[in-house]
Amino acid sequence: MRFDDRRAAGRRLARRLDVLRGQDVVVLGLPRGGVPVAYEVAQALDAPLDVLVVRKLGVPWQPELGFGAVGENGVRVLNENAVDDTRPSPAEQAAVERTEQAEVGRRVRRYRAGRPRVPVAGRTVVVVDDGLATGATAEAACRIVRGQGAARIVLAVPVGPASTVERLHEVADRVVCLRSVQYLGSVGAWYEDFTQTTDAEVIALLTRSARPASAPRAPVGPHPPPSREVEVPAAGVSLAASLTLPDSARAVVAFAHGSGSSRYSPRNRYVAATLNRSGLATLLLDLLTEEEEADRSNVFDVLLLARRLHAASVWLRHRTALPVAYFGASTGAAAALEAASAHGADIRAIVSRGGRPDLATPAALAQVKAPTLFIVGSRDSRVLSLNRLAADRMHCEHGLSVVPGATHLFTEPDALAIVAELARDWFTAHVASPEAHVPPRRSA
């Protein structure tokens, strides 16, 4: 199997990575050749694209053969087997390293042109190259990203030797290789067109993929209180979560993420910060464990998600003595509706952002008692129709707010700010009004 060119390889690689769509993902391409591949992956996953500059340390008399790699932040990786086989002297190794480290600095300045690095801390990072040989550059890249605080690292390449792929599992949480071969020859041999990628092409792709709306502006107002990482027991598993408790909180909102997203979702964290500034506590939790996330079917197991969300709300009441509300996105909205319909659930309000209420059972929709607000983008036509049909099945107080010009992920300027304000106003009116009687809050 040969690839037409790097862009075609990227599109094929993106199909294998589709499970990550909707999660809090950053795609990093290794310049130069890895960037066209990474561009296609980032476009398919609707994720931000950046470069991660790593340079191979080539054997002086055979530059294509690497004995190691250097990268940003002074990272240095040696391939001891290659050093033993080729035996470059310490002076030769040092000379190559000085040259390549200088080139790392030059490329960083040229490619970013003063733009800040896309933050990776707490996020899933997909490291992409056009192929593997010794794997030294890929290993260096993964070590850099790990040092920057990435929550999960996925190394994705079109082709590479099976032995190298296996070894790189030591530095990446997951390795995706479309063509794992016993004998590689060279990476270029697996492409019909392996024309060298230029700096100008790299810069053009980075410029084209820049999405200023993907990182919403922070809400104006006082800083929210700090969050603390907690473990929430739920039906035999322990779920990772971030709990934020303002001193004067009168209610707590549990976030049910959807489509494989996590508590690090920048969109839900943005909404949560708005709620925190309004005196609402928030719990952003992962409804699936890391192992369960690997099976895409679990993302759509709404009843499983609902059981865990219900267990989390019971834990929240015991921990905080506050009334509980739900904020659900995508499949998480269906889980929130199912959980709120359970006998004795006592959920005070629900807000759905771009939700899939059609995945909840008709019986659950009819049994929900909590005032429910559906928020959908006007350009998300299919989901808008599904929300209207779901609303027609509900007997409780409910509303449908359509955000003009917004698509499913609300990446348009100010769209997410509107979502946050609508959610804040709904929760404030239904669970945090001054008239509501709330018992004293226990210490967290």
Question: The domain that contains 357 carries what CATH number?
Answer: 3.40.50.1820
Tell me, yes or no, whether 256 and 310 share the same domain. Answer: yes
Tell me, yes or no, whether 231 and 279 share the same domain. Answer: yes
* CA 432 remoteness from chain centre: 31
Tell me, yes or no, whether 231 and 178 share the same domain. Answer: no
Residue 443 domain-assigned? no
Residue 316 domain-assigned? yes
Residue 217 domain-assigned? no
Q: Which of 317, 315, 318, 254 is nearest to 286 (CA)?
A: 254
28/31 Cα distance (integer angstroms): 9
Tell me, yes or no, whether 195 and 280 share the same domain. Answer: no
Tell me, yes or no, whether 418 and 275 share the same domain. Answer: yes
Tell me, yes or no, whether 99 and 245 share the same domain. Answer: no
Q: Is it true that the peptide bond before 32 is cis, omega within 30 degrees of 0?
A: yes
- Residue 58, Ramachandran bin (φ over 0: left; ψ between -120 and 50: alpha; else beta): beta
Query: Maximum distance among all alpha carbons in the chain?
Result: 80
Q: What is the pLDDT of residue 434?
A: 44
Q: How many CB atoms lie within 10 A of CB 131?
A: 27
Residue 401 domain-assigned? yes
* CA 33 remoteness from chain centre: 24
* End-of-domain residue from the set 210, 237, 259: 210
Residue 302 domain-assigned? yes
Residue 442 domain-assigned? no
Residue 219 domain-assigned? no
Q: Domain range holding 193?
A: 6-210
Beta bridge partners of 143: none
Tell me, yes or no, whether 286 and 150 share the same domain. Answer: no
Q: What is the pLDDT of residue 426?
A: 94
Domain count for the chain: 2
Tell me, yes or no, whether 252 and 334 share the same domain. Answer: yes
Residue 110 domain-assigned? yes
Q: What is the pLDDT of residue 442?
A: 39
Q: What is the pLDDT of residue 214?
A: 43
Tell me, yes or no, whether 401 and 274 share the same domain. Answer: yes
Question: The domain that contains 105 carries what CATH number?
Answer: 3.40.50.2020
Helix (H, G, I), strand (E, B) or coil at 19: helix
Alpha helices in 154-301 (DSSP H): 162-167, 199-209, 266-277, 290-293
Helix (H, G, I), strand (E, B) or coil at 177: strand
Beta bridge partners of 326: 254, 350
161/173 Cα distance (integer angstroms): 18
* Residues ≥6 apart with Cβ < 8 Å to 370: 325, 326, 340, 345, 347, 348, 349, 350, 396, 430
* End-of-domain residue from the set 210, 236, 263: 210
Q: What is the mean pLDDT of each run of 10 residues along the chain (444 residues)?
A: 90 91 91 93 93 77 66 66 69 80 77 77 93 86 83 94 92 92 89 89 84 46 72 88 91 85 80 91 90 77 93 94 95 95 93 95 95 95 95 94 89 84 92 49 40
Question: E strands, 223-278, where?
Answer: 227-234, 237-244, 252-256
Tell me, yes or no, whether 234 and 172 share the same domain. Answer: no
Tell me, yes or no, whether 398 and 328 share the same domain. Answer: yes
- Cα distances from 16 to residues 19, 158, 176, in angstroms, run 8, 10, 8
